[in-house]
Amino acid sequence: MTRFATRKPEYLPKAYYNIKADLEEPPPPPLHPGTKQPLDPKDLEVIFPKGFIAHEISVEREVPIPGEVLEAYAQFRPTPLVYASGLKKYLETPADIFYKYEGVSPTGSHKSNTALVQAYLAAREGVRTLTTETGAGQWGSALAHAGALFGLEVKVFMVRASYRQKPGRKTLMKLFGATVEESPSPLTESGRVFYEKDPDHPGSLGIAISEAVELALKNQGSAKYCLGSVLDSVLMHQTVIGQEAIRQMDELGARPDLVVGCVGGGSNFSGLSFPYVRMRIKDKAAIRFLAVEPDACPSLTKGELRYDHGDASGLTPLLWMYTLGMGFVPPPIHAGGLRYHGMAPLVSHLVDKGIVEARAVAQPEVFEAARVFLRTEGILPAPESAHAVAAVIEEALAARKEGRKRTILFNLSGHGFLDMSAYENNGKSR
């Protein structure tokens, strides 16, 4: 079998796939943080651009991708679909393993798929500044690049643990012209609550979200907030990954029995899996879906399915999701992009309905999987993506033990070339 599927320009989708059009029942709606009543989309206008809100509330199966965004995508999409022949040989498994490699994007991860369209929609409405949070820095880097492309100032609150662990990401954001602050910071009321108690507080995505939302609320005339995961529209923007994968797999005459992705907020897993979930819902295709999270932040495997805020200060709407609680502060593991207390409502819904399975893995296992992947495939995965690699290895070894041929597809959502400090420390948290 050829190692790479052809990257044909026509494989780049012209529309995002909206899974809400195919669900038998939707998840419970978001609630207003004050009234606790179902959210009116107009309530979101103080935070988000109107174009983004339109994407968030859409129930159309296909949402057109703006032409200027398609032009930006075409610089790196379609991304490669790779047959992992080296990993297969090393594991001596009958399983065929494929991965969609999102590390070829401008800043090295899948996050550009939503950053580019969010920045475009904001710029079209005359927004001058975007505020956001970032964990490991993949999302912050992607939005910084998108902001530079569409002429927007970008202000990023980066979780302190990652700010100090991953200086390369911080530098990259600044090179694009973004402002980057450690979170929790003394610059916002939300941050000061934590900063004044402990200036070395490791931070969390929930705290950083509070700071970014607060800054947007205080500058409503010129600033809007952007989010890199969790929300329905963000997951929808990522479906360019799965739509491309379907056409590339068809080209090779293959269809996955198992689709795997790491999950923190759920965006890269959803981007690959949702177009395949449609096959399971509509065509009854026999495909398993596996969402892999860190055991240090196990929202799906140990959290509760209930309404909770997406941030640590209660500024954001209440979302129906698996959550560890808005006040949960995870340990400073190196997979900073997965250190989030809650899971995307759509992913939570699919887990609740038994369509998606969840699995938690420990950091030592994750870093060993990353080393194996580097040695066999020649790519150092981001620590986040290495969670998916660890689960793929486990599933491939199970296929070897059973003597059963399987086809596994996973999302390598980004490279780890800016995560060297994590690997230098052998995956041990500092």
Structural domain includes residue 83: yes
Structure tokens belonging to residue 147:
């902001």
Structure tokens belonging to residue 58:
């859409």
Residues 196 and 141 in one domain: yes
Residues 102 and 200 in one domain: no
State the helix-helix crossing angle for 383-402 and 363-377, rounded to 10 degrees. Answer: 80
Supply the pLDDT for residue 333: 63
Residues 56 and 198 in one domain: yes
Structural domain includes residue 17: no
pLDDT tier at 257 (50, 70, 90 boundaries)?
very high
Do the Cβ atoms of 256 and 226 come closer than 8 Å?
A: no
As a whole number of angstroms, the distance between CA 256 and CA 415 comes to: 23
Residues 74 and 201 in one domain: no
Structure tokens belonging to residue 39:
């959210």
Give, in degrees to the nearest 5, the angle at Cα 99 between 94 and 103: 150
Residue 159: other Cβ atoms inside 10 A? 32
pLDDT (tens digit per residue) in 198-240: 999 989 888 998 999 999 999 887 899 999 999 999 999 999 9
Structural domain includes residue 1: no
CA dihedral 143, 316, 55, 146 (to 10 degrees): -10
Residues 266 and 354 in one domain: yes
Supply the pLDDT for residue 21: 97
Supply the pLDDT for residue 326: 87
Q: Give 362-369 contacts, CB < 8 A, sequence gap 24+.
A: 362/294, 362/295, 362/296, 363/294, 363/295, 363/296, 363/333, 363/334, 363/335, 363/427, 363/429, 364/427, 365/390, 366/294, 366/335, 366/390, 366/427, 367/334, 367/422, 367/423, 367/426, 367/427, 369/393
Which of 230, 246, 278 is at the close of a domain?
230
Structural domain includes residue 212: yes
In SS3 terms, the chain reads as CCCECCCCHHHCCCEEECHHHCCCCCCCCCECCCCCCECCHHHHHHCCCHHHHHHHHCCCCEEECCHHHHHHHCCCCCCCEEECHHHHHHHCCCCEEEEEEHHHCCCCECCHHHHHHHHHHHHHCCCCEEEEEECCCHHHHHHHHHHHHHCCEEEEEEEHHHHHHCHHHHHHHHHCCCEEEEECCCCCHHHHHHHCCCCCCCCCHHHHHHHHHHHHHHCCCCEEECCCCCCHHHHHHCCHHHHHHHHHHHHCCCCCCEEEEECCCCHHHHHHHHHHHHHHHHHCCCCEEEEEEECCCCHHHHCEEEEEECCCCCCCCEEEEEECCCCCCCCCCCCHHHCCCECCHHHHHHHHCCCCEEEEECHHHHHHHHHHHHHHHCCCECHHHHHHHHHHHHHHHHHHHHCCCCEEEEEECEECCCCHHHHHCCCCCC
Supply the pLDDT for residue 395: 98
Structural domain includes residue 6: no
Which of 177, 196, 230 is at the close of a domain?
230
Rounded mean pLDDT, 257-281: 96
Structure tokens belonging to residue 158:
């980066």
pLDDT (tens digit per residue) in 314-348: 888 899 999 999 888 777 765 566 878 899 999 99
The total number of structural domains in the chain stands at: 2
pLDDT tier at 128 (50, 70, 90 boundaries)?
very high
157: CB partners within 8 A, 6+ apart: 131, 132, 133, 134, 181, 182, 183, 185, 191, 208, 211, 212
Supply the pLDDT for residue 426: 63
Out of 16-25, 195-204, 279-288, pick the least confident. 195-204
Residues 78 and 193 in one domain: no
Out of 222-231, 288-297, 415-424, pick the least confident. 415-424
Residues 375 and 409 in one domain: yes
Residues 246 and 384 in one domain: yes
Structural domain includes residue 3: no
Q: Is the pLDDT at 146 greater than 70, yes or no?
A: yes
Higher pLDDT, 82 or 427: 82
Structural domain includes residue 8: no
Which of 211, 230, 249 is at the close of a domain?
230
Structural domain includes residue 262: yes
Average pLDDT, the chain: 93
Rounded mean pLDDT, 39-52: 92
As a whole number of angstroms, the distance between CA 345 and CA 57 comes to: 13
Residues 137 and 214 in one domain: yes
Residue % of the chain over a pLDDT of 70: 97
pLDDT (tens digit per residue) in 181-192: 999 999 999 999
Supply the pLDDT for residue 54: 96
Report how far apart, in Å, the C-alpha atoms of 406 and of each of 86, 88, 113, 397 are.
Answer: 16, 11, 29, 11
Supply the pLDDT for residue 315: 81
Residues 410 and 300 in one domain: yes
pLDDT tier at 428 (50, 70, 90 boundaries)?
low
In the block, tokens 């409503």 appear at 220
Supply the pLDDT for residue 430: 43
Residues 388 and 260 in one domain: yes
In the block, tokens 């698996």 appear at 322
Instruction: Give the domain CATH number at 165.
Output: 3.40.50.1100
- Domain range for residue 359? 66-109+233-424
Residues 243 and 358 in one domain: yes
- Length of the chain measured in residues: 430
As a whole number of angstroms, the distance between CA 345 and CA 323 comes to: 10
> Residue 201 forms beta bridges with which residues?
none
